[in-house]
Structure 1
Amino acid sequence: MYAGMKLFVGQELVYRLGTAVWSMGYSGGVTVSASDSATAEIYRFLRTALLQAPEQLPLRGPESLISGQLEYSCAVSGELGRFHGTEIICIAGSPVYELHFSGGALHENQALAQAERQG
């Protein structure tokens, strides 16, 4: 689920055997008054960062990515089972985009075992 553009909210769900077992919610967006072309540039850079998600914790993008005057940073606390974090994009050192995210496992091992028995 995803809604919005310059400012937006969303939720990702992972299902196993018909049961939602993991989720991540997020909200944020462009934090300054920006033209449509500037917003498009910010989101192009964001997509580049998201394609470089770290294998060990593939929640958003890498800890840091720099391209010209654009700088992406992502700070995560926790692990895949329970986490929260913030990603920021700056242009020439000034923040222009910010997103907060959190999530993790939705069910204890018992609920997963029950879902496996039903599947």
Structure 2
Amino acid sequence: MFNDKLKMLRKMQHFSQDRLAEEIGVSRQAVAKWESGDIFPDITNLIALSRLFDVSIDFLVKKSEACTKREGPLEEVAIDQDELRRFLYKAKIRTYASGIEQDIDGLREYSHDYLYEDPPYHYHDSYVGNEIFSGQEVVTFEGYPVWALSYQGRVLHSDFSSKFLKEALFHVTPERPFKGPVHFQKGASVYHCQIDGDLAWVIGREEVYFNEEKVYELVFHGGLLKE
């Protein structure tokens, strides 16, 4: 829905309703009514929103196709791996790693979920648990699942900082958009990520150390989907 997408985009940019209203030249009350679903912006304001958030008008107004069933075998879906790699990179830095909690319904009870769309691609990250957790990232193309990554992790010590982990993950690179960089350090906290494989099939492990003691670990594997 448009109002949910608008709230998500605003929060991703750390904008208040007042700030968004100022950026596009409308009243805060107008933004509040857009986000509540009471009214819909006219074409002039839709254009302003698409330019501000760097998304298409189609993305703003069209219903998500993420849950739409596509007819035909997966082999018929033509995937440009470079394009998919760029999309994954954008999805990673605008969801969990951004540090912004998205106000959306979870995929399942008690799950934590993050969404990002740049049609025809859609990204959904969903995990359950906290100190010990498990999750999966799925990318769809025109509503059809084309890539997935499963992961399992755990916190080993109270010195672990989720804020540091998110900062490390924010430094993911477009060349390997799976988890974080090979190495990231800030003070006594150190992040490492090892991978084997590429977009088609990858396995890996990430670890966080504090004062040279391991305080967090996660394993992951995934790749392109094929029937």
Aligned counterparts of 1:2 and 1:90: Cα–Cα separation in 2? 23
Aligned counterparts of 2:194 and 2:179: Cα–Cα separation in 1? 10
Deviations 1:37-87 (A, max 9, x none): x44xx2110000111001101111110011111000000100011000000
Among 200, 207, 214, the alignment partner of 1:95 is 214
Q: Does 1:11 align with 2:136?
A: yes
State the AA in 2 paired with 1:70. S
Aligned-partner SS, 1:45: helix
With normalisation by structure 1, the TM-score equals: 0.81
More helix by share: 2
Q: CA deviation at 1:5?
A: 1.1
Gaps of 5+ in 2: 1-125
After TM superposition, the structure 1 = structure 2 runs for residues 24-35 of structure 1, keeping only pairs within 5 Å, are: 24-32=149-157, 34=158
Among 33, 55, 59, the alignment partner of 2:178 is 59
Alignment coverage as a number of residue pairs: 102
What is aligned with 2:168?
49
Q: CA deviation at 1:17?
A: 1.8
What is aligned with 1:114?
none
Aligned counterparts of 1:6 and 1:98: Cα–Cα separation in 2? 11
The percent identity for this pair of structures is 34
Give the 4+ runs in structure 1 shifted more than 3 A: none
Q: CA deviation at 1:7?
A: 1.1
Using CA pairs below 8 Å that are at least 6 residues apart, which structure has the higher relative contact order?
1
The structure that has the greater radius of gyration is: 2
CA RMSD of aligned residues (A): 1.1
Gaps of 5+ in 1: 112-119
Aligned counterparts of 1:5 and 1:44: Cα–Cα separation in 2? 14
With normalisation by structure 2, the TM-score equals: 0.44
Deviations 1:1-57 (A, max 9, x none): 21011111110000012211100000112023x2xxx44xx2110000111001101
